[in-house]
Every structure is written in C-alpha cells, then in structure tokens.
Amino acid sequence: MIYLPSRIFFGANALQNAEAYLIRLGTKPLIVTGKNSAKLSGALDELIPVLKKNNADCAIFDRVQENPSWDTVREGAKFLKDSQCDYLIAIGGGSPLDAAKAMALITANNLIEEDKITPDKFSHTFPLAAIPTTAGTGSEVTQYSVLTDASTGIKAGLGTDLAFPKLAICDPRYTLSLNNTITLYTAIDALSHLLEGIFSNKRQPLLYPLIQAGIDAIMKNLEIALNSPSNIQARTNLMQAALYGGITIAQTGTTLQHSLGYPLTTHFGIPHGLSNGIVLKQVIELYYPYLKPELNNLFLSLNITRKDFEEWLEKFPLKVELELSDEFIESQIPIVLASHNMANNPLTVTAEDIRKIYKNLK
Ligand SMILES: [Fe+2]
C-alpha cells in the first residue's frame, strides 16, 4: 500500500506551476523558516511576489533552528495563533519543514500548552506547503516531524497522516547556494532514506525502482555537485533522489540507522546526515545476513557490488573524532531501543548490537 497525499511540483517552474494550488490553501500564510536558508536559496524572494500578486497578506516566523526543539515549536505555534494565519508555507531544510508540521498540528488542536503530545490528540491541522532548500530530508513528502525535547535531550519523530504537506514545491535552483558540507550531509541523509526503504521490514517492491534510481542518482551526481556546486543537472538529480527518499520512508519508516544517529546529534551536535553516514557501514554489516537477497538485488540493479558501494562511500569525509564513553553508550541504549523506528528493523536488534556499533565509532 502506498499513501502519498502531497501534490508534488518539481523543476525550475515548480513555484509557478504550484501557484494556483498554493493560493487556494487559505487566505493568509505563515511562512516558517530558519534564519538564512529562505533568503539565501532565493525561495523567499520568489514567493513574496507570488503572494503579493494574489493579494495575500502573510506573516513570517524565521526562528527555527537546526534540530528544532519543542520549545521552538510552541513559540511558533503561539505566533501562528496570534498572526491569524490559516495556512503555512515552510521553506528550508528538514528543520523548518518539521517544525511547521508540528506548529500546525498543535495550534489547530489547541495543544500549545499541553505537555505530552501524541498523534492521537490530533483531529485536524492547517494546510502546509513545503519548499525544500536542501536535497536530503524528504520531509516535503512525509508525515513525520522530528523534534528534540530539550529537557531530556531526546530527538524523536512524530508521525501522523495529517502532517503530510498538501504541496511539495521542489525547485533544484534553491539548492545551488548550499555549501559542500551541507550538500554532502544532506545527500547522505537521502541515501540513508533510500537504503532504509530496503532495510525496513515494511519494504515494498513497488518502491524499488524509485530506490534504485535515487541511489544511482546520488552515486553518479554527488561528486559532480561537490566539485561544481552550480551544476544544475547534478543538483536536479540530487533533489530528485531526496524526493524519492522521502516518498520511500513515508511508506517504510526509517530504521536503526536513524535511531543510532539521533543521540549523536543531540549530545554532540553531529549533523543529521553525518550521523547517519558514520554508522551506515556497520548497519549494513548487521543487516546483511537478514537481507542478502534484497541487498544483493539492489547492488545488482545498480551494476555494482557491496564492496563498490562501500568504497564509493569511503571517498567522502564522513568521519568524526568521537570518543563515546561507556557511560554514555549505556545511557543511550535504552533510548535507542525505545525509539519508534526500531519496529522496522529486519531483525530484533539487541542492546549488544547497539553497544558494538557505538564502540566501533571510537
Ligand atoms: Fe533523515
């Protein structure tokens, strides 16, 4: 079963093509973004005239930080309520997109002051248009909002079908200003999503052509984009791969791969894509005996071997100096084991499996 209720516009005219649908989402949008990405990408400069042309007044909330916290979401939700906006346009990487989804949900359902927020408390939401400015997260076509609880340091995903953006407006030109670090880490995030479409026990052969095409695109275009950041064809191919990754995890969920990375992000500030990248090889190692036919078929479809894939991955600076103490590892094992994504693993992952992977990062 595939469920994908987002209307997707892709390419250099994405915003133009989406205009009629965008304007119909409501009367006054709240633009949700981070400090810089909406401006640097050029997306905001193109959006404002579209809204003006349609006489749509708007408000802007630009205080979403990387790895957004529930506190930021609550602040944004209050802003949304006070601004009397009736739909949202999120511009940025995964952080503004995820924050906007949660802001819309908790405002619409009067949960701003609620401590324990769970998806069963949502009955409706505000419409959301998502304009990605990175090629990684796929959040523009997913029902997930990944947020950090600052009081516990736990990063976790909230998933509800209500959170799917109504519109995904994907214009690869908005990724031309990304620096190499963000280009690399976001591509590795997209790669993880695509692979997790195979890793997950919710894998669906119907998605395999997308997964194969996405991984192939990343393997063939990542270096080109890093060497020639203004190469629009490479940027287009990477954005398409990220979109495929989002479509994939919206159906299959993520796995241990993501669960392992969250503590590395919240405690050591390791960017999301990098935290996926540094555990990827070990996750494949752990999963391989349980997924031999699926992974072998994947590599065959890409005309490569597992070794080729791992050698390709080695080309990129995906290492960090990390000394994880035994105490830290033991404190995180129960958190990793309790994360939602663990239901999707192709085997029953044990505390020892997690311990071993974290220890090997030393
Ligand atoms: Fe991710």
How far does the centroid of ligand 1 lie from the alpha carbon of residue 51, in Å?
A: 31
Partners of 29 in the beta sheet?
87
Helices 306-314 & 272-287, crossing angle to 10 degrees?
Answer: 150
What confidence score (pLDDT) does residue 153 get? 84
How far does the centroid of ligand 1 lie from the alpha carbon of residue 189, in Å?
A: 5
Extract the tokens encoding 310.
């791992």
What confidence score (pLDDT) does residue 362 get? 62
Q: How does residue 154 score in pLDDT terms, banded at 50, 70 and 90? A: confident
How far does the centroid of ligand 1 lie from the alpha carbon of residue 297, in Å?
A: 24
What confidence score (pLDDT) does residue 355 get? 96
How far does the centroid of ligand 1 lie from the alpha carbon of residue 187, in Å?
A: 10
Count CB-CB contacts under 10 A for residue 177.
16
Partners of 10 in the beta sheet?
170
Q: How far apart are CA 100 and CA 150, in angstroms?
A: 18
How far does the centroid of ligand 1 lie from the alpha carbon of residue 125, in Å?
A: 23
How far does the centroid of ligand 1 lie from the alpha carbon of residue 7, in Å?
A: 21
**161 in Cβ contact with 3 (< 8 Å):** yes
Q: Is 42 left (phi over 0), alpha (psi -120 to 50) or beta?
A: left
For residue 282, the SS3 value is: helix
The fraction of the chain above a pLDDT of 90, given in percent, is 92
Q: Where are the domains of the chain?
A: 7-174, 179-360
Residue 92 has pLDDT above 90, yes or no: yes
How far does the centroid of ligand 1 lie from the alpha carbon of residue 54, in Å?
A: 35
How do beta strands 87-92 and 29-33 pair?
parallel
What confidence score (pLDDT) does residue 156 get? 85
Of the listed ranges 219-228, 236-245, 313-322, the one predicted with least confidence: 313-322
Average pLDDT (104-116) is 94
How far does the centroid of ligand 1 lie from the alpha carbon of residue 161, in Å?
A: 18
How far does the centroid of ligand 1 lie from the alpha carbon of residue 193, in Å?
A: 6
Distances (CA, A) of 184 to 69, 132, 140, 295: 24, 16, 19, 23
What confidence score (pLDDT) does residue 115 get? 84
Residue 118 has pLDDT above 80, yes or no: yes
Helical residues (DSSP H) of 84-179, grouped into ranges: 94-108
The CATH topology of domain 7-174 is Rossmann fold (3.40.50)
How far does the centroid of ligand 1 lie from the alpha carbon of residue 354, in Å?
A: 19
What residue has token string 């105490």?
327
Distances (CA, A) of 147 to 150, 163, 343: 9, 14, 19
Q: How far apart are CA 144 and CA 189, in angstroms?
A: 15
Length, in residues, of the chain: 362
How far does the centroid of ligand 1 lie from the alpha carbon of residue 261, in Å?
A: 9
How far does the centroid of ligand 1 lie from the alpha carbon of residue 138, in Å?
A: 8
Q: How does residue 323 score in pLDDT terms, banded at 50, 70 and 90? A: confident
Mean pLDDT, the chain, integer: 96
Q: How far apart are CA 138 and CA 193, in angstroms?
A: 8
Average pLDDT (224-253) is 98
Q: How far apart are CA 165 and CA 143, in angstroms?
A: 8
The fraction of the chain above a pLDDT of 70, given in percent, is 100
How far does the centroid of ligand 1 lie from the alpha carbon of residue 239, in Å?
A: 14
How far does the centroid of ligand 1 lie from the alpha carbon of residue 50, in Å?
A: 31
Its CATH class, for the domain covering 179-360, is mainly alpha
Q: How far apart are CA 236 and CA 231, in angstroms?
A: 9
Q: How far apart are CA 115 and CA 24, in angstroms?
A: 33
How far does the centroid of ligand 1 lie from the alpha carbon of residue 62, in Å?
A: 22
Q: How does residue 116 score in pLDDT terms, banded at 50, 70 and 90? A: confident
Element holding 144 (H helix, E strand): strand 144-149
Which tens digit of pLDDT belongs to each residue from 40-55?
Answer: 999 999 999 999 999 8
- Integer-rounded Cα Rg, in Å, for the chain is 20
Q: How far apart are CA 164 and CA 102, in angstroms?
A: 11
